[in-house]
Chains A and B, each alone.
Chain A
């Protein structure tokens, strides 16, 4: 079909990232090479040799899985990496191993034996619904890995696709997605899959434009065709017109601004990223983050047998600072307790973990040693790199708690001084996430360099609505007037002192609310890296006076509906 400027073909699916990309279609069908022919006659097969081939393939598969697990943990996160643990267990499953070996005994070559041993279990899971059907995908992934190793099939190396490729596939397995590189893949589209599929989760973590679940219609796109993937609208356009491409290129999602931005009338707003691992720093830089507004340190402590020592932590904080030599990196001290159990920490179960000993309450109590180690690593890192390090304390509810935390910093600094260590005292701040912190914000602000509003917890506590509980999810909205007033209060307290005030909850990354937040007077907004370009674009477009008037009208509102109406009428003007 000749490219018709007026007649692009479009497809609808589920968009999984608020990003769009244009590139060249590359069909990926990893199983095409794995089709086996008829097996040879049983007496022509050397069963001992085939058993050895199977065992060797299984060992190699285990090594590959271990490597992919590590790579995924580093790039995406522990949670996604754990899928490879399940694969390793399937690979070692006695039912499968016995099935393969007895089929080999019966005269099948190893690859045919593998295919046959997986057949029933896959069929069994396929027939079940939801989560169980996903296990069928896991089993296919494990089977195909073995078949590839046994038949020496080429593995299409997705990490070395040509730059600007749009990957098209029936489905992407965890093993496939683990190889994707956002530098090269301009986007991907799959026939199957939903928002929570592995592929979707990876796409969000890696910032890759993606649409899933298009259906069989996708097959009418050929290799080499030009394709536009709009992960926000959930649409895919083959042979997009020049105008459409341009619109995609001009789209607010693709326009990354590396420079710092100000409102149209010149008020600078710092736009930073929330990260949990060193691996996410690069994505933050790619999206134009001015710095890191929330570095969650829990990930350093989770999923291990013993806490990280000072040296390990020092290296991590240093790396974060090195990523933003001219920016600021706000590190939150260990925020665990209640819902986030850590095996080596003694955290008794609590009836109300969210109202229990968490955050600074643990750091000043049972985790005092960990807290000191963390502060030592932070103070040393602050001296090791040119960027600005800021350290903030979570879950503070009283002035004495904050003072105790600040005293600990002083003690650690004094100890480093007398040990002759190289250190610097970072900016020190407090999170506003309890209602009490919002009520005493003036007293807190006087004692710190900055405050950062954690809107997820603040909303949960102000509204007394557990954010994990779907039955009260409706109450968990940061646009509730009560929450807005708590935010307003914190900002006013900051204005009355020299403390700057930022926000690091999900609210900060909602570009529909940027005008409201800037109007409220926040100096910094920190969010998931992918939303940074959107928010930067909003900021440069808005006028400070209009934003302020919107904020005034929003905080005067008595219901969330009114807030929403006011936000949207102003946005649309």
Chain B
């Protein structure tokens, strides 16, 4: 199964949000692949930090996530949640 998600974190899938995404992808039994939704690139292993960061996904880009396996549904839910959550800010708030 698969779904398409718009990437919300301001930094796109760079160091910090990517680490969170890859870590989560690694925790599921399902085989998970991601690719930019524009369809030009082959899906890459979602549990590989190298592969995910090299997609160069920016905020606002649509990402297609494909998961196969017993917990595929749960995996998609969780990964979608990560991609749709803005980064917590630590700018001064006064």
Contact = CB atoms under 8 A, between A and B. Distances in A.
Interface in A164-179: none
B37 interface: no
Contact of B93 (A89, A95, A134, A335): A335
**Which size class do B's interface residues fall under?**
20 to 34
B50 to A, nearest CB: 5
A90 B90 contact: no
Interface string A53-91: 000000000000000000000000111001101101110
A454 interface: yes
A505 interface: yes
Nearest to B10: A468
A319 interface: no
Nearest to B49: A89
Interface string B35-70: 000000000010111110110100000000000000
A340 B11 contact: no
A459 B93 CA distance: 12
A437 to B, nearest CB: 13
A516 B56 CA distance: 46
Contacts of B14: 131, 134-135
A92 B56 CA distance: 20
A77 B90 contact: yes
B94 A135 contact: no
Contact of B23 (A85, A303, A433): A85
B15 interface: yes
B19 interface: yes
Contacts of A135: 14-15, 53-54
Contacts of A456: 92-94
A339 B86 contact: yes
A85 B45 contact: no
B57 to A, nearest CB: 11
Contact of A78 (B26, B86, B90, B92): B90
A529 B92 CA distance: 13
A281 B15 CA distance: 29
Interface residues of A, number: 47
A134 B12 CA distance: 14
Interface string A133-147: 011001000000000
B6 to A, nearest CB: 13
Contacts of B19: 82, 85-86, 88-89
Given A132-B56, A339-B89, A505 B94 contact: yes
A503 to B, nearest CB: 9
Nearest to A79: B90
Given A341-B85, A505-B94, A82 B54 contact: no
A504 interface: yes
Given A135-B53, A339-B86, A274 B92 contact: yes
B54 A89 contact: no
B39 to A, nearest CB: 21
Nearest to B11: A131
A570 interface: no
Nearest to B45: A94
Interface string A443-471: 00000000000111100000000000000
A303 B94 CA distance: 20
B16 interface: yes
B48 A95 contact: yes
A342 B87 CA distance: 10
Interface centre among B15, B51, B54 (most CB of A within 10 A): B15
B42 to A, nearest CB: 14
Nearest to A505: B94
Contacts of B53: 86, 125, 132, 135
A134 B47 CA distance: 20
A525 to B, nearest CB: 12
A431 B15 CA distance: 36
Contact of A296 (B48, B86, B93): B93
A89 B92 contact: no
B90 A276 contact: yes
A274 B20 contact: no
A340 B50 CA distance: 29
B16 A90 contact: no
A285 interface: no
Given A82-B19, A85-B16, A303-B88, A92 B93 contact: no
B59 to A, nearest CB: 11
A86 B18 contact: yes
Contacts of A82: 15-16, 19
Contacts of B50: 90, 93, 95-96, 121
Contacts of A78: 88, 90
B22 interface: yes
B52 to A, nearest CB: 9
A506 interface: yes
A92 B49 contact: yes
Interface string B1-35: 00000000001101110111011001000000000
A302 interface: yes
A121 B54 CA distance: 9
Contacts of B49: 86, 89-90, 92-93
Closest 9 CB pairs of A and B: A454-B94, A89-B49, A85-B19, A86-B15, A86-B19, A82-B16, A505-B94, A456-B94, A89-B19
20 contacts: A77-B90, A82-B16, A83-B15, A85-B16, A89-B19, A89-B49, A94-B45, A94-B47, A95-B51, A124-B54, A125-B54, A128-B56, A135-B53, A138-B15, A294-B94, A298-B93, A335-B93, A340-B88, A341-B86, A455-B94
Interface of A: 77-79, 82-83, 85-86, 88-90, 92-96, 121, 124-125, 128, 131-132, 134-135, 138, 274, 276, 294, 296, 298-299, 302-303, 335, 339-342, 431, 433, 454-457, 504-506, 528
Interface of B: 11-12, 14-16, 18-20, 22-23, 26, 45, 47-51, 53-54, 56, 85-86, 88-90, 92-94
